[in-house]
Amino acid sequence: MKTTEPIRDKRQIRALSEYYLGRGQVRNHLLIVMGLHTALRISDILKLCWCDVYDFEHGCVRKSVHIAEKKTGKVKTIALHANIIVALTLYADTAKPDKPLFENPRTKKAIGRTQAYRIIRVAAESVKIQTRVSCHSLRKTFGYHAWKDGKHPELIMKIYNHSSLAITSRYLGITQDDIDAVYLGIRLVA
């Protein structure tokens, strides 16, 4: 089985996240933005309903989401990044409490994993991302860039709910170029 990689180039990430927005497909834009900024598995993203992310009493997007992860059963709270809040606000005209966030307009049910994969693949191919990209690439991209930005690997491990740092290290897709950058970037003697 081939593994997917994180998207390492931030320009490609920006192009991927903006691809559907430029085409007026706000739902698909939101899917990619949520995948990039929450580190959730696609199965957890697709099960979200509007009531999970939108406060109907106050008429605004929530600042965080509480979710029980499908794979682990663990409950976690995820602060919603400003990019997610903007995307949700753009899409909020379709909000109804029990409506799936990523609704298939024909069936009125949440889209499936296969459709989510297609949405991500079309955008990735269109913006010329050369590496193998799937739904899981969005989750891996979050961790890779958190690590590159200096976030402690144990914190990333906790976000992912991994049982060991070794799993997280493999998951991040650290390359020889990343290792070389550490060797070359350390300044111990002036």
Catalytic site residue from 27, 76, 139, 140: 139
The residue ranges of every structural domain in the chain are 10-185
Query: What is the band of 2 on the pLDDT scale with cuts at 50, 70, 90?
Result: low
- Tokens for 96, please give them: 């109804």
- Average pLDDT of the chain, as a whole number: 93
The mean pLDDT value for 125-130 works out to: 95
- Active-site residue 171, yes or no? yes
pLDDT greater than 60 at residue 139: yes
pLDDT greater than 70 at residue 22: yes
What one-character DSSP code corresponds to residue 49? B
pLDDT, tens only, 38-81: 999 999 999 999 999 999 999 999 999 999 998 888 899 999 99
- Active-site residue 162, yes or no? yes
Catalytic site residue from 41, 54, 76, 140: 41
Query: What is the band of 169 on the pLDDT scale with cuts at 50, 70, 90?
Result: confident
Number of neighbouring beta carbons within 10 Å of residue 91: 19
Rounded to whole angstroms, the Cα distance separating 61 from 33 reads 15
Residue 93 vs residues 6, 65, 99, 106, 182: alpha-carbon distances, Å:
32, 19, 12, 18, 47
pLDDT, tens only, 51-62: 999 999 999 999
Choose among 47, 131, 61: nearest CA to 90: 61
* Terminal-residue alpha carbon distance, the chain: 47
Backbone angles phi, psi at 84, to 5 degrees: -70, -45
Strands 64-68 and 75-79: antiparallel
pLDDT greater than 60 at residue 189: yes
Rounded to whole angstroms, the Cα distance separating 49 from 97 reads 7
- Active-site residue 136, yes or no? yes
Catalytic site residue from 136, 140, 144, 160: 136
Q: What topology does CATH give the domain 10-185?
A: hpI Integrase; Chain A (1.10.443)
What HEC string does 61-118 produce? ECCEEEEECCCCCCEEEEECCHHHHHHHHHHHHHCCCCCECCECCCCCCECCHHHHHH
Query: Could you give the maximum distance between any two Cα atoms of the chain, in Å?
Result: 65
